[in-house]
Amino acid sequence: MLKSFKPTWMVESIYQITPEQLRNENIKAVLTDLDNTLIAWNNPEATEETIEWIELMKENNINVIILSNNRRKRVEKVASILELEFVPNALKPFQRGFNKALNEFDLTKDEVLMVGDQIITDIKGANNAGIESVLVKPILDSDAWNTRLNRFVELKIMTYLINKNPDMKWRGSLHDRERTK
Shortest Å distance, C-beta 7 to Mg ion: 13
Beta pairing partners, 113: 30, 132
What ranges in the chain are assigned the alpha helix state H?
19-24, 48-59, 72-82, 96-104, 124-129, 145-164
Q: Which is nearer to Mg ion, 137 or 175 (CB)?
A: 137
Cα 108 versus chain centre, distance: 17
Residue 69 contacts Mg ion per CB under 5 A: no
Tell me: does residue 117 bind Mg ion (CB under 5 A): yes
Looking at 36-44, 57-65, 77-85, 149-157, which segment touches Mg ion (CB under 5 A)? Answer: 36-44
Determine the interface stretch with Mg ion among 27-35, 45-53, 123-131, 161-169 (rule: CB under 5 A): 27-35
- Closest residue by Cα to residue 115 from 6, 23, 13, 3: 13
Q: CA-based angle 49:46:145, to the nearest 5?
A: 120
* Residue 156 beta carbon to Mg ion: minimum distance, rounded to whole angstroms: 18
Which of the ranges 2-10, 24-32, 56-64, 117-125 carries the binding residues for Mg ion, by CB under 5 A?
A: 117-125
- Determine if 35 is a binding residue for Mg ion (CB under 5 A): yes
- By the rule CB under 5 A, 68 interacts with Mg ion: no
DSSP for 107-130 reads: --GGGEEEEES-IIIIIHHHHHHT
Q: Which is nearer to Mg ion, 103 or 146 (CB)?
A: 146
